[in-house]
Amino acid sequence: MSSATPAGCFHDALNATALASSSRQLNQPDLMVQAIRLYGKAIKGLNEALQSPVTSRDDSVLVALFVLGLFEVIAARPSQSRSANSEASCHPHSEGGLAMLQYRSGVMVNGNIDRVILSFFSFVALSDCFMTYPGDFLMWSKLRMLTAPTADGPCFEPLLCRAVEFKIVAEEMMTRNGLAAGSTMFTLLESGMRIIEDLKTVAEHQLSQKAPGNRTGFNG
């Protein structure tokens, strides 16, 4: 943490999430009531912390926002009416978290916590690309616009980013224009085939590294 004394919302967020988790695991609704009360207190404290130029830079405030997103996932009741959206399912505060990471970068605050949380949000954005409706890449788009010393855009290998960008282009083309012209479709297919071949090469390389003959950790 960047300060010896974490913001009050940090402790409230941790306690609320721990109580919510215990409530679900032990099937004790009374614990959830306490958790929700602490959650409200944490949200109020978080909003107050964000108003101060000093406390808004503290690592504990960023972590509090992250933990509160986990609380919402734990506390939420499964619903068939909820839209397929990994941001809602994995971390409801992803967009707010990205905004805070961008703010921290602007005031020259970047550390290991920023990198870890950015990596988590990158995986949320990646999941979002495959769980939302065709043509809906809002989370990925916001992540792509992020500029910070920790990373410019998603924390992934360039090949994986290429694959996602290809999916975005292909779906946008099909959504807006239906079947594309022959030359455009051919170019798109060529690009897709190159990505498939590159992914295959990487996968085969990874498998070869895990071959029995290469395992020297304990059976050297």
Percent of the chain predicted with pLDDT > 90: 26
Which two tokens mark 125? Answer: 């954005």
What integer pLDDT is reported at residue 39 of this predicted model? Answer: 95
pLDDT (tens digit per residue) in 145-178: 776 665 555 667 788 888 888 888 888 777 666 5
Domain ranges of the chain: 8-76, 94-155, 157-209
More confident position, 48 or 136: 48
- Its pTM stands at 0.71
Residues in the chain: 220
Calculate the average pLDDT of the chain.
79
**Which residue reads 């954005």 in tokens?**
125
Q: Which residues contact residue 188 at a Cβ distance below 8 angstroms, ignoring those fewer than 6 apart?
A: 169, 170, 173, 180
